[in-house]
Structure formats: C-alpha cells, structure tokens
Amino acid sequence: MGIKDLSAFASRDVFLDYDFEEVTYRWDHRTKTVFVKFYGAAESDRPVPADNRLYNDAVLYGREISKEEYEKGFERR
C-alpha cells in the first residue's frame, strides 16, 4: 500500500500504521520531525531520523491512518 502522494508530507501532518512491525508514526510537517509509537506503548518523546529504515518501510508499505486512530493507538497482537 504505502503513501502514494508524497506531497502530503509537505502540506499536512501524516499518521502511518505499519502493522507488520506493530508500529505507528506521526510526521509533523511544520517542524519536519517524525515520532514513533509502538503498539501498546506511548509515543516516544525523541524524534526519529527521517532516514530511519523502519519509518521508510512504513511510508512504503504501511497505511495512512487518522489522527484519532494514532492517538488511540493499537493493541499488540
């Protein structure tokens, strides 16, 4: 699946789910930072580098989710 239109990253916040690795990401377009939140855990307070392999896999193979889904989180399988 992945994000088909990468221009979305320039114009708005993007929330991703990559269920294969049980992880979600939040891209903040204003500060150009990425934050990670693993299933069943709180969001990390440290940004993730944009060249992080797992994050880029989420962009390529994950799915976009809503802000509400991101904030609610997902349970571990």
Q: What is the DSSP string of 21-71?
A: TTEEEEEETTTTEEEEEETTSPPPSSPBPTT-HHHHHHHHHSEEE-HHHHH
Domain residue spans in the chain?
8-66
Tokens 């889904």 appear where?
69
pLDDT digits (tens, 9 = 90+) for 18-77: 999 999 999 999 999 999 999 999 999 999 999 999 999 999 999 999 999 999 999 988
Residue 8: pLDDT band (50, 70, 90) is confident
The answer to whether residues 35 and 49 touch, using CB atoms and an 8 Å cutoff, is no
Let me know: does 15 contact 67? Beta carbons within 8 Å: yes
Strand partners, 33: 28
